[in-house]
Amino acid sequence: KLKLIEKNFSDLKHNCSFYVLVEHNTNIIDDLERVHYLRMKGIPSYIMPYQKIYNKQSEPIRHKHTKSLERYCNIRRFYFKYLNYWEFLKEEYSLNYYLKILAEYNKLKGEINE
């Protein structure tokens, strides 16, 4: 699906944004990868946490990083002020919160590309 974005939306840059569904079979690595990919293409992302609507749907898996990622992406002054999510966390949140998010990330054996 990212190839579709690259093919059809590469010239739009800041004229559009994409919803990024989180907390539905995703983790911090998946979420950051999609946000980072769109950012590198010059396309802002809008974080949309999964919400259960029907009884047959699964309950959302709440992640520690969702609220801060939502704040980073959905408040445009933060999105354009900081180069990446990690820089945003360091500046806008406590060291304790930053370390919790980093632990969540490292638990999945991800690598931070700063």
pLDDT tens digit sequence for 5-46: 667 666 655 567 788 989 888 889 999 999 998 888 788 889
**What is residue 94's predicted lDDT score, i.e. its pLDDT?**
94
Are 25 and 50 in contact, with CB atoms under 8 Å apart?
no
**What is residue 6's predicted lDDT score, i.e. its pLDDT?**
66
Please give the distance of CA 77 from its chain centroid, rounded to a whole number. Answer: 15
Paired with 45 in beta bridges are 18
pLDDT tens digit sequence for 88-108: 999 999 999 999 999 989 888
**What is residue 38's predicted lDDT score, i.e. its pLDDT?**
86
Q: How far apart are CA 17 and CA 10, in angstroms?
A: 12
> pLDDT band for position 114 (50/70/90)?
very low
pTM confidence score: 0.77
First to last CA, the chain: 25
> In the predicted model, what is the mean pLDDT of residues 74-92?
93
47 has a pLDDT exceeding 70: yes
